[in-house]
Amino acid sequence: MSEFDLKRNLTMLTDFYEITMANGYFMNGHKDTVAYFDMFFRTVPDKGGFVIMAGIEQLVEYLRSLHFTDEDIDYLSKKGFAPEFLDYLKDFRFCCDVWAVPEGTPIFPGEPIVKVRGPVVQAQFIETMVLLCINHQSLIATKANRVVRAADGRTVMEFGSRRAQGCDGAIYGARAAVIGGCVGTACTISDEVFGTPALGTMAHSWVQLFDTELEAFKTYARQYPSACTLLVDTYNVLESGIPNAIKTFDEVLKPLGKRPKGVRIDSGDITYLSRKARKMLDAAGYEDCAIVVSNSLDEYIIKDMLLQGAKVDSFGVGERLITSSSSPVLGGVYKLVAVEKDGEIIPKIKISENVQKITTPGDKKLYRFYDKSTGKAIADLIAFRHEVIDPSKPYVLFDPDYTWKKKTVTDFECRELLEPLFEGGKCVYKERTLMEIKEYCADQVTTLWDEVLRFENPHNYYVDLSRDVWETKQKLIEENRGRKDNA
């Protein structure tokens, strides 16, 4: 696990109301009250079919190093918090249980993707960082996955550092982009810290610095003969850039026994230029020279380019990926769903006139059902922790909103998705390399039906409730009917 985050104390990166509530809980007899919180989201960015889970490793690192410094305590004392509460923070030890869906897993609206159980003072306090870590990286991993799927087997590189929303947006965005399927990133520090392969060659300034484009190309080729990719659109792609690239390959690389890696086009009508460039390179004997393109690309532009016959081998995607500019927010929320009282778990619910905002109460787990014959995901099921699904018996799934819509599944496998990260504050997270997470993500996406993978009007993947969860939710709605929504 990287030491990058451990060097920064981010304990106080929290909304101020987390501290006012923690102080209030502590001073009013709830120091040891055990609460359950779920993180979930309500809508998929870009009106897509699913989200890719990401950001767990950074959440784990935050929770592992959670402590209050003398400076933190001094700051809080000036804000008027109770001395008893400040003494508690001085000796703070994280002791919650935490579960999460593994990074790289496709996830869907309404299901618990992070679950926290522990003293309400602590479980409430970590809300902001739970949401910050998961919302951001899941958003970028999802966008990257859309772009990679649009590229249809061609490689995609993340090129967005200079347009990211701040340093962390660039660094963690690059990590998330690789989880989503990018082969590498322009962000050097992310490679150093997380192992996101750093990629890149030259900018237009390199070509402009030399007296001629040909001199610039030859100098670069002599410097990097085994990794020569030339940027060919500084002046004129077809009349200057490609001819000078071919001349460089002939006069510098060929005598060294080297082959060019590629040419890059960063402007103009890329579809047209790529087709013409491909013919010129092939005619010169460089059929293996890749054509790399960039310039404000996204999944829709890439898909259109390929439909129009673009001859592209690799895409560099920047600002529209690293900021997910077409849908820049994943609106994950963190809600109280149960408390423990006298050894009993008491489900809690939030009621709203906006039906989508009504929460699902209780101490829950999350199952995914797979069809044994196809390996495809059938549906997800939110069940209480005590419920056990027996795959040897038929199971009736029903739509929680339209309960008459039912499906009996047989010959299925099911898997619990929530895995433990912390037990009693002790980290039990099973670390994986970034490349392992990326491969796992690619494999899990293949379990989704093509209808769910569509960019336009994807099929609504079913997230169902067990009968017990549904009945508990309906009972609490009835009991709380008439209360005003304060959200």
For residues 2 and 101, the model is more confident at 101
Residue 193's pLDDT is what? 95
DSSP codes of every residue in 422-462? EETTEE------HHHHHHHHHHHHTTS-HHHH-SSS-----
Q: What letter does residue 102 receive in the DSSP assignment? A: P
**Helix H or strand E encompassing 314:** strand 314-317
- The helix/strand/coil state of 18 is helix
Predicted confidence (pLDDT) per residue in 286-302, tens digit: 999 999 999 999 999 99
Residue 384's pLDDT is what? 98
Would strands 229-231 and 406-409 be described as parallel, antiparallel, or unpaired? unpaired
- Joined tokens for residue 90: 């001085």
Residue 483's pLDDT is what? 59
Residue 235 has pLDDT above 80, yes or no: yes
Residue 228's pLDDT is what? 98
Residue 4's pLDDT is what? 59
Would strands 426-427 and 97-100 be described as parallel, antiparallel, or unpaired? unpaired
- Please state the separation of Cα 169 from the chain's center in Å: 12
Quote the CA–CA distance of 142 and 177 in Å, as a whole number. Answer: 8
Average pLDDT, the chain: 96
Residue 3 has pLDDT above 70, yes or no: no
Q: List 198's β-bridge partners, or say none.
A: 185
**13-17, long-range: CB < 8 A, 24+ apart:** 13/128, 13/129, 13/132, 14/125, 14/126, 14/127, 14/128, 14/129, 15/127, 15/128
Determine the average pLDDT of the residues in 449-474. Answer: 97
Instruction: Classify domain 5-140+328-479 at the CATH topology level.
Output: nicotinate phosphoribosyltransferase (3.20.140)
Given a contact cutoff of 8 angstroms between Cβ atoms, the answer to whether 115 and 84 are in contact is no
- Please state the separation of Cα 367 from the chain's center in Å: 20
- Joined tokens for residue 87: 């003494």
Predicted confidence (pLDDT) per residue in 374-394, tens digit: 999 999 999 999 999 999 999
Residue 5's pLDDT is what? 54
Residue 7 has pLDDT above 90, yes or no: no
- Joined tokens for residue 269: 């009508």
Residue 435 has pLDDT above 60, yes or no: yes
Residue 487's pLDDT is what? 42
Q: Which of 38, 169, 10, 202 is nearest to 112 (CA)?
A: 38
CB atoms within 10 A of CB 425: 16
Residue 485 has pLDDT above 60, yes or no: no
Residue 8's pLDDT is what? 79
Quote the CA–CA distance of 14 and 76 in Å, as a whole number. Answer: 13
Given a contact cutoff of 8 angstroms between Cβ atoms, the answer to whether 375 and 368 are in contact is no
Dihedral sign of CA atoms 182, 187, 188, 192 in order = negative
- Joined tokens for residue 308: 């129009």
Q: What letter does residue 361 receive in the DSSP assignment? A: -
Confidence of residue 486 (pLDDT cuts 50, 70, 90): very low
Q: How many residues are listed for the chain in this entry?
A: 487
Residue 455 has pLDDT above 70, yes or no: yes
DSSP codes of every residue in 379-398? EEEEEETT----TTS-EEEE
Determine the average pLDDT of the residues in 461-477. Answer: 97
Residue with tokens 């899941």: 138
Task: Give Cβ neighbours of residue 486 (< 8 Å, ≥ 6 apart).
Answer: none
What's the whole-model pTM score? 0.95
Residue 479 has pLDDT above 50, yes or no: yes
- Joined tokens for residue 28: 């009013």
Quote the CA–CA distance of 102 and 225 in Å, as a whole number. Answer: 41
Region 143-322: CATH code: 3.20.20.70
Quote the CA–CA distance of 105 and 113 in Å, as a whole number. Answer: 10
- The helix/strand/coil state of 137 is helix
Q: Where are the domains of the chain?
A: 5-140+328-479, 143-322
Predicted confidence (pLDDT) per residue in 31-87, tens digit: 999 999 999 999 999 999 999 999 999 999 999 999 999 999 999 999 999 999 999
Quote the CA–CA distance of 77 and 363 in Å, as a whole number. Answer: 35
Given a contact cutoff of 8 angstroms between Cβ atoms, the answer to whether 86 and 72 are in contact is no
Predicted confidence (pLDDT) per residue in 142-179, tens digit: 999 999 999 999 999 999 999 999 999 999 999 999 99
End-to-end CA distance of the chain: 38
Quote the CA–CA distance of 142 and 44 in Å, as a whole number. Answer: 9
